[in-house]
Amino acid sequence: MQILFYIAAVIAIFSTVMVITRLNAVHALLYLIVSLLSVAVIFFI
| Closest residue by Cα to residue 41 from 15, 5, 13, 2 | 5
User: What is the count of structural domains for the chain?
Assistant: 1
Widest distance between CA atoms in the chain: 35
Helix (H, G, I), strand (E, B) or coil at 15: helix
Query: What pTM did the predictor assign?
Result: 0.87
Measured on CA atoms in the order 38, 39, 42, 44, is the torsion positive or negative? negative
As separate numbers, helices (DSSP H) first and strands (DSSP E) second, the chain gives 2, 0
20: domain range?
2-44
What was the pLDDT predicted at 45?
87
Residues of the chain with pLDDT under 50: none
